[in-house]
């Protein structure tokens, strides 16, 4: 069993929105690893970060990604930082990985000022720029398909993905 598509990208790329639409278009289920982590921890991600620290969150994330890749056959959305773990990047090899690319201005307008996003709590714009710069090479490394999302609606992005998949 293997996901039909695994969506990666920074906050604001549209992984959850496009993922749900793509799953519907393909007639498969949708799963968001962040929701899996919250269910396993019994609390929202911001609370995991603040109560237990980012390292603990990343450990939960690695476990959730590995489990989902091995047991789920729909459209899977990973958290923006999941690709930071070398073990996760290795697990993604052989999967159809879609990198939803977004530039800073669109990402900022989509995520707002980071409400509910612990890494964006302080100076969201500068932090988001740093995250984009840091993670872009990792997204590109794991991607089998890249879709530019800037200035486009979720339906248009989904249509492009359906055609490519």
- Confirm or deny that 116 is annotated as ligand binding: no
Distance CA 142, CA 145 (A): 9
34 is in an annotated binding site: yes
CA distance 61 to 6: 15
Residue 135 assigned ligand-binding role: yes
Query: Was 62 annotated as part of a binding site?
Result: no
Q: Is 80 annotated as a binding residue?
A: yes
Q: Is 15 flagged in the annotation as binding?
A: yes
- 16 a known binding residue? yes
DSSP one-letter string for the chain = ---SEEEE--TTS-HHHHHHHHHHHHT--EEEHHHHHHHHHTS-HHHHHHHH-HHHHHHHHHHHHHHHHHH--SEEE--TTGGGSHHHHHHHTTS-EEEEE--HHHHHHHHTT-TT-GGGSSSHHHHHHHHHHHHHHHHHHH-SEEEE-TT--HHHHHHHHHHH-
Q: Known binder of ligand: residue 150?
A: no
**Residue 114 marked in a binding site:** no
Is 4 labelled as part of a ligand binding site?
no
14 is known to lie in a ligand binding site: yes
Burial class (CB in 10 A: 0-12, 13-18, 19+), 165: middle
Residue 82 assigned as binding residue? no
Q: Which residues are annotated as a binding site for substrate?
A: 34, 58, 80, 135
Q: Which residues are annotated as a binding site for Mg(2+)?
A: 16
Q: Which residues are annotated as a binding site?
A: 12-17, 34, 58, 80, 117, 135, 152
Q: Which residues are annotated as a binding site for ATP?
A: 12-17, 117, 152
């Amino acid at each position: 069993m293997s996901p039909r598509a695994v969506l990666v990208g920074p906050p604001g790329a549209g992984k959850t929105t496009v993922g749900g639409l793509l799953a519907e278009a393909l007639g498969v289920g949708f799963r968001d690893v962040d929701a899996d982590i919250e269910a396993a921890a019994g609390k929202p991600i911001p609370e995991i970060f603040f109560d237990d620290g980012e390292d603990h969150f990343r450990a939960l994330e690695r476990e959730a990604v590995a489990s989902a890749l091995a047991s789920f056959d729909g459209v899977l959305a990973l958290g923006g930082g999941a690709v930071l773990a070398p073990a996760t990047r290795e697990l993604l090899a052989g999967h159809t990985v879609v990198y939803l690319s977004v530039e800073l201005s669109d990402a900022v307008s989509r995520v707002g000022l980071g409400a509910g996003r612990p890494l964006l709590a302080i100076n969201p714009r500068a932090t988001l720029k740093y995250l984009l710069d840091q993670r872009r090479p990792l997204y590109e490394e794991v991607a089998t398909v890249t879709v530019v999302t800037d200035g486009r609606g979720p339906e248009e992005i989904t249509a492009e993905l359906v055609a490519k998949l």
